[in-house]
Structure 1
């Protein structure tokens, strides 16, 4: 069995650790996204052009969403408290959680800053007692609320965590996988992209259970689609990897709308230099390069090129 753990509203939970007055009220982490990198100081008048990085459940219930402009978030939730992100602090909390999980599992894989997989194979444990102990100890020693999913495979475990939120535990035994996924919507599954969802819906498929019964479609769409199928039915057998290789390196910044094309080009070059430094630091050899630009009113364009190594 494999355990997946996700910190609930990580950045918001982290800020509440430092400030009790933020508990039980709508809060969000967001802002200008570090415009100091361009050699300028953020202006108070530009604050509303920042974006919401994440928000608490109290804020989400009022319509606040990740990626929303701050000015729009304040229009739907006027009492929203917004905190600038402190990424170094979040990375330290993530490191502490990683270390804590290593006491419970011989192999721990970091999926992201707030998500981890733990390999439970070979452990003689009661899953209910074990997962409760993990959850309670993290809350007691680190102060972070987490949700936990356990299943025979990594991606079903992650799906189980989604079903356990907020701050819950969901265990899916091997025999329970078909019934567990049967009524889950397509967008609940990690890796089920928009184009794949559209292709499935064109065939009248709207749930993971229906997709599980359409293996012939995935077979006809190639190796990538077949790999996705194996994941969604829990047959992928992907191991938990303690030192999983980095798949991507990137950097992004949000700033007020620009009308000066030369200034925009200057900022793109600055970001490109930072990405180049990260590539050298991690001794990576990238093959694909992507650039995204979002306009003032939400339109987004993305260009990608792939080069031979």
Structure 2
């Protein structure tokens, strides 16, 4: 069984979650209204007012005048996406990303009810991130995605193996993956408007009218899909950087910045249940020359105090105190799942 989990209007919902004063107000995200910017995302209340992705922001505001229009903030969306995917990985070992806002989760081998997993996932994302998650469950990838799109207010829709055809049949034929405008127009010319009507079409007619592409679509219409989940491993690295307002010479101030970075990294590691075996310190001096120092430890680390102790040792191997520093950063790699072995820093190898 597969889950497809998504946050509709992701950019706009992230902005609303980040700004509590927007909770009761429609939100649009896109380009500058006065420069013919277009809508990239909209919250559900804005979509109900007729706002569509791709329309000019000025037109969207005319349809939904109470909406707040915001410019795109990709850094915020990427950071939130990392946290969202950490929740996905807590529920399934195999996860395939489908953009910043969605993923397929493989529940193969789990005895737990998919609807219960989906409900728990929705609760955890709502509580931790204040984001509205929609989840579809099905034995086939594209059906799970369609189920998530169809679940409406309930937030979860489970299409069991024996119900795939009854779920697909009433849907418009344009909902099939790969059914573009020209294909849909050809099918409408044959009086075929639903998936069920397409499934009932003779193979010879499909091959004559649509060729091999039509046969592929027909396989989907009858509930056959050979697409497999392509799971990505957990993140291979994590990093945090801090730019100082003015180049800084004092080691104590730089150590304070390192403390903030290690706390952020500890939270990121905890979300993914990971620990790191390698840490890299990145320093850019005031004259923009950059240098790095690194160390590898035999036993993975995930606590901020351990990371900070090692980062400060690396800092002492730079020219800090003699040359002003404009930017400082830390990168972690050699990431592994947290296990029982969590020894301290007395056993490390220099590299």
TM-score (norm 2): 0.62
Question: For residue 230 of structure 1, what is the aligned residue in structure 2?
Answer: 219
Instruction: After superposition, give the CA deviation of every residue in 1:241-292 in whole Å (9 maximum; x if it has no partner).
Output: 0149xxxxxxxxxxxxxxxxxxxxxxxxxxxxxxxxxxxxxxxxxxxxxxxx
Question: Across the two proteins, how many residue pairs are aligned to each other?
Answer: 231
More strand by share: 2
> C-alpha distance in 1, partners of 2:232/2:216?
22
Partner secondary structure for residue 108 of structure 1:
strand
Question: For residue 78 of structure 1, what is the aligned residue in structure 2?
Answer: 65
TM-score (norm 1): 0.70
1:36-55 to 2 correspondences below 5 Å: 47=34, 49-55=36-42
Task: Give unmatched runs, 5+ long, in structure 1.
Answer: 33-45, 245-309
RMSD: 1.9
Runs ≥4 in structure 1, deviation > 4 angstroms?
Answer: none
Q: Residue 104 of structure 1 is aligned with which of 80, 91, 108?
A: 91
Question: For residue 214 of structure 1, what is the aligned residue in structure 2?
Answer: 201
Q: Residue 123 of structure 2 is aligned with which of 136, 142, 147?
A: 136
Assess if the C-alpha contact under 8 Å between 2:115 and 2:137 holds in 1. Answer: no
> C-alpha distance in 1, partners of 2:111/2:144?
19
Question: For residue 12 of structure 1, what is the aligned residue in structure 2?
Answer: 12
Quick one: structure 1 residues 184 and 27, their matched pair in 2 at CA, closer, same or farther if it must change by over 3 Å?
same
Partner secondary structure for residue 175 of structure 1:
helix
> C-alpha distance in 2, partners of 1:101/1:204?
41
> C-alpha distance in 2, partners of 1:219/1:204?
16
Whose Rg is larger? Answer: 2
Question: For residue 301 of structure 1, what is the aligned residue in structure 2?
Answer: none
Partner secondary structure for residue 102 of structure 1:
helix
* Pairwise CA distance, 1:215: 5.4
Question: For residue 255 of structure 1, what is the aligned residue in structure 2?
Answer: none
Comparing 6-15 and 189-198, the one that deviates more: 189-198
> C-alpha distance in 2, partners of 1:12/1:196?
32
Task: Give unmatched runs, 5+ long, in structure 2.
Answer: 234-351
Assess if the C-alpha contact under 8 Å between 1:131 and 1:148 holds in 2. Answer: yes
Structure with more contact order per residue of length (Cα contacts < 8 Å, sep ≥ 6): 1
> C-alpha distance in 1, partners of 2:198/2:217?
11
